[in-house]
Amino acid sequence: MTKRRINILAIETSCDETAAAIISDDLQVLASVVASQEKLHERFGGVVPEIASRAHVERILPVIEETLRGAELGLADIDAVAVANTPGLAGSLLVGLAAAKAMAVALDVPLLGVNHLQAHIYACRLAAGRDVFPCVGMIVSGGHSNLYRCLGPLDFELLGATIDDAAGEAFDKVASMLGLSYPGGPSIQRAAADGNPKAYRFPRALLKDKERLDFSFSGLKTAVRYAIAGPGRTDFSAVQLSRRQVADLAASFQQAVIDCLAGKAFLALKKTGLARLCVGGGVAANGPLRERLEADARRAGIELFVAPLQLCTDNAAMGAIAVERFKAGQFESLQLDVLPGVVRRKG
């Protein structure tokens, strides 16, 4: 008799996407559903935590049902339930965790925890279809810009992180200054396509510091503000930007972020002596960033894995990392709690 496949239901509600996926122990994604909340947060220019958690409550069960239908499986076919329990927004994480615990109890199957940041890197492993470890892992998302030494899928050592804003956060805030729609990353990328990346000389904080693997994007954001409003002025409500100015500001800003991300990622490779780079998170969807990393990797002889577009922004398919935990027997008790917040370097 052939061994029956193990099916893991993964739940992801760490920020503003309500997502579920079913992944088998041979890493096949049998179904993956993402209910985006973009429309709900659009007019605020960023995620409003209370709105996010309420929307998760409304959507979580329909999303799970749709995932089961997509995989053509019933509840009895689920062998374990996995849930992202860190990092993220407390209220959002709690909705996913409560749903996961309830299902694990009702189905009498094990509960698995997923670290959302490790999952973003595991998206590269999932897409590659082969081992990508050991590697340098770079997570560039709305909440994080972190570099890790990843010795295995569950063995991460933080090497550097942003000391203020995350890259995605900077994209979202600068987009709002330029009157571009939320989320800022895709709209800045679109506007920048017609712009000159050298039109404005924006700072590349910490890039010349070859000791540190940290990022800082808050000064860049302020520099864009001054470029719009005039030196030392913060109020630009009366300023009317031309299409050309918006394109040039977007392109110059995007280039500054790309220079910092690529510069530090390759510094991390040099410092660790590792020869593989895995990149995940929403900002990894950025076309010019992907092209730059590919060019730099080719030149440096580095094996590059960037998550495919649909696995960059938040999704539950990357919860496939739970397969590693299942195989390692790392099950959670019903005491499992959320560990909200963002991951920053101490000191």
Of 112 and 284, which has the nearer Cβ to Zn ion?
284
Tokens 């295995």 belong to 152
How many other CB atoms are found less than 10 A from the CB of residue 77?
Answer: 16
Question: How far apart are alpha carbons 294 and 303 in whole angstroms?
Answer: 9
* Binds ligand KG4 (CB under 6 A): choice among 12, 25, 172, 324: 172
Three-class DSSP category at 39: helix
Rounded least distance, CB 34 to ligand KG4, Å: 10
Rounded least distance, CB 120 to ligand KG4, Å: 6
Span of 138-146, 172-180, 235-243, 318-326 interacting with Zn ion by CB under 5 A: 138-146
Of 85 and 272, which has the nearer Cβ to ligand KG4?
85
Q: Which of 9, 10, 60, 70 is nearest to 35 (CA)?
A: 60
Q: Which of 45, 61, 46 is nearest to 13 (CA)?
A: 61
Angle between helices 243-272 and 218-229 in degrees, nearest 10:
160
Of 89 and 109, which has the nearer Cβ to ligand KG4?
89
* Binds Zn ion (CB under 5 A): choice among 141, 145, 187, 216: 141
Of 135 and 284, which has the nearer Cβ to ligand KG4?
284
Q: Does 217 bind ligand KG4 (CB under 6 A)?
A: no
Q: Does 143 bind ligand KG4 (CB under 6 A)?
A: yes
- Interaction partner, residue 191 (ligand KG4, Zn ion, none; CB < 5-8 Å by kind): none
Q: Which of 95, 101, 199, 215 is nearest to 147 (CA)?
A: 215
Of 40 and 73, which has the nearer Cβ to ligand KG4?
40
Q: Which of 278, 227, 279 is nearest to 252 (CA)?
A: 227
- Interaction partner, residue 184 (ligand KG4, Zn ion, none; CB < 5-8 Å by kind): ligand KG4
Span of 134-142, 172-180, 241-249, 324-332 interacting with Zn ion by CB under 5 A: 134-142
Question: How far apart are alpha carbons 303 and 120 in whole angstroms?
Answer: 18
* Binds ligand KG4 (CB under 6 A): choice among 285, 297, 306, 318: 285
* Binds ligand KG4 (CB under 6 A): choice among 93, 282, 319, 324: 282
* Binds ligand KG4 (CB under 6 A): choice among 23, 126, 247, 283: 283
**b (16+ CB within 10 A) / e for 188-208:** bbebbeebebebbebebbbbe
- Interaction partner, residue 313 (Zn ion, ligand KG4, none; CB < 5-8 Å by kind): ligand KG4
Q: Does 186 bind ligand KG4 (CB under 6 A)?
A: yes
3 neighbors 73 (Cβ within 8 angstroms): no
Sign of torsion over alpha carbons 267, 139, 327, 97: positive
Q: Does 15 bind ligand KG4 (CB under 6 A)?
A: yes
How many other CB atoms are found less than 10 A from the CB of residue 250?
Answer: 29
Instruction: Name all contacts of 294-298 with Cβ < 8 Å and 24+ positions apart.
Output: 296/262, 296/266
Q: Is the peptide bond before 62 cis (omega within 30 degrees of 0)?
A: no
Q: Give me the helices (H) in 8-136, please.
A: 38-41, 49-71, 90-107, 116-128
Site residues (CB under 6 A) for ligand KG4, limited to 296-315: 313-314
Rounded least distance, CB 85 to ligand KG4, Å: 14
Q: Does 18 bind Zn ion (CB under 5 A)?
A: no
For Zn ion, how many residues bind (rule: CB under 5 A)? 2
Rounded least distance, CB 337 to ligand KG4, Å: 20
Q: Which of 178, 176, 173 is nearest to 249 (CA)?
A: 178
Site residues (CB under 5 A) for Zn ion, limited to 278-317: 314
Summarize as ranges the residues that interact with Zn ion (CB under 5 A). Answer: 141, 314
Summarize as ranges the residues that interact with ligand KG4 (CB under 6 A). Answer: 15, 141-143, 168, 171-172, 183-186, 189, 281-283, 285-286, 313-314
